[in-house]
Structure 1
């Protein structure tokens, strides 16, 4: 300390204070030290006033919607369907994630959490359609959430991200947000004719990444990889969609008793097919779709009474069934193996007495539904 005092004194003498007593030098030195301590204390105080970095600690998990099975139902694909055609859009499923702020969070009570959806399934078409268990059939996944301002987010190249903002009290309740997921089934290559069972679809994984963390953490899968449904690929296309059959005029005397028939007229249903499947068909009464008898009801604008119309296959009346392509549908019947080319189905229409006959006009309508196996 004695040497330091003389240094200060020497410094002061350079400033022109040559005759300052020793005591004065010590007093000046003490004041200098006091001033320096005050400045250092002030700087430390100011440093303590710099705000700490705000950090919210948020935890999130699945509330519902994980573990989905892709339920496709019955899908009918017309013959020669163009590649890229969406043949079915499934009903959306709702996935809900929830987040809350931990008591260990500091100051800030707002954060974001991103739900990352991913699949390792092979791309079947473009960058957003993934292969299912049926060759030629792919699936596209689309995500929407009004709460997260996400509109039609498509899983592309195996990934989709939906980011949601959360705010709330530290230690508060979980805050759920909903994300709807829509699966579209898309033709990616020619599909073999007949019926195929859908048993597998791409697994879709979920991981979370919050704004307070640099790493992802996994959640249970959104889609498990299991699928259900049937795909029917038509092997025949209709050559003539609407077939008008004109029955001949007959007198009421030709239909004199219940169940008597008259006025037969031959016609055909025409198709163009590719080989590879058995072809089945169901005829449906368009006036009364629940009708499972062998007689079509007349339309309301028919003026004749006590009559119906029958359709015959190889001389036998056809019974009508529901408008369905399901194999085994009520009153469905087998046409035979599909040819590689034109297919004609010869039929006959005729009048039948169903009650007390009154003369007038007769009109009946029927539809047909093809099925394949």
Structure 2
């Protein structure tokens, strides 16, 4: 009888011990579990391209502008109670549904015919496996490992996306407005929360900028005009001028645009008059240099800008398929009390197209 009681007691004790171990193990499993929540920040970016000049003869594949990288942030935190650190792997996907430009696997069409955009993706550090990758054939997938405390703050990683504007074919001469670009959508999947979960796009598709396709190139980058020595007696009063000397600007053009030009005083870019100020190194005083157009009218100077309607911009005609000569003349003009010496003046010219 005593033996039976001891056997029953031991069996009961073992059962109780097993129940306690199982219960503790269950509690420990629950306290170590954490669910991550992830999203993106710094999203819905617009593509702001500014003013882009496309040179004459730009071939398909030429990058005409590389914009400042956008910092697209991916972030995760862990939801649960407890003091344990935990981690998760996030798989992100950047997607583009806009058509690819013909002949390219990573350049997508914009609203301007012949101009596309390429997105290059980088992430510093070892957390994400992205180094100079482009969005090929509509998508780019990458993985980031996140570590953080349960119920802690978001852990953030920077994904830098650089937009480059690329020539994909013939571009119309003159100025074109960039108003739309590919939407770069983003979705994510995590190993503990599943997915894919759609997020706000990295790029919204909005765009702004002006594309200027040069119709003409300069055949001679620098033109020197040597004026003959002038007698101050022939400049008897302010405004008096000497005989002009002819010179020309020579351009190589493609057909299709009205070409406009602005001359700018290099010494004083704010000069809107008709006399170039003397450059450093001049020893004469009281004189300036006038430049006259083909009609013999003194040219007024403007800002160094290709913007349509720039102050003192004027038309030099329709671009031919070949050489375009811009005939000009230069002469002295008296501007004040004359002192004999050497004269030097500098001007630049800027072309615009319509």
Structure 1 Cα separation of the partners of residues 141 and 57 of structure 2: 36
Contact 1:110 1:165 in 2 (8 A): yes
Q: Does 1:97 align with 2:74?
A: yes
Contact 2:48 2:207 in 1 (8 A): yes
**RMSD, matched Cα:** 3.1
Structure 2 Cα separation of the partners of residues 103 and 52 of structure 1: 12
Contact 2:253 2:319 in 1 (8 A): yes
Contact 2:70 2:160 in 1 (8 A): yes
Structure 2, unmatched stretches of 5+, are none
Question: Which residue in the other structure is 1:118 paired with?
Answer: 95
Q: Does 1:87 align with 2:64?
A: yes
Deviations 1:171-201 (A, max 9, x none): 1222333322221101111212112111211
Contact 2:46 2:206 in 1 (8 A): yes
Q: Report deviation, 1:55.
A: 5.6
Contact 2:33 2:80 in 1 (8 A): no
Q: Does 1:258 align with 2:238?
A: yes
Structure 2 Cα separation of the partners of residues 56 and 301 of structure 1: 76
Contact 2:39 2:199 in 1 (8 A): yes
Structure 1 Cα separation of the partners of residues 99 and 250 of structure 2: 40
Deviations 1:224-270 (A, max 9, x none): 22222221111111111111111111111121211111141111111
How many pairs does the alignment contain? 346
Contact 1:320 1:331 in 2 (8 A): yes
Structure 2 Cα separation of the partners of residues 76 and 155 of structure 1: 25
Structure 1 Cα separation of the partners of residues 69 and 217 of structure 2: 31
Task: Give the match's secondary structure for 2:234.
Answer: helix
Structure 2 Cα separation of the partners of residues 106 and 83 of structure 1: 57
Structure 2 Cα separation of the partners of residues 194 and 292 of structure 1: 25
Q: Which has more radius of gyration?
A: 1
Structure 2 Cα separation of the partners of residues 305 and 326 of structure 1: 34
Q: Does 1:340 align with 2:321?
A: yes
Q: Report deviation, 1:153.
A: 2.8
Deviations 1:3-41 (A, max 9, x none): xxxxxxxxxxxxxxxxxxxxxxxx9xxx9xx99x98xx9
Q: Does 1:129 align with 2:103?
A: no
Contact 1:114 1:161 in 2 (8 A): yes
Structure 2 Cα separation of the partners of residues 162 and 176 of structure 1: 15
Structure 1 Cα separation of the partners of residues 69 and 348 of structure 2: 31
Shift >4 Å, 4+ stretches = 48-56, 104-108
Q: Does 1:328 align with 2:305?
A: no
Q: Does 1:366 align with 2:344?
A: no
Equivalent positions of 1:149-298 (< 5 A) are 150-298=130-278
Q: Report deviation, 1:271.
A: 1.0
Question: Which residue in the other structure is 1:304 paired with?
Answer: 284
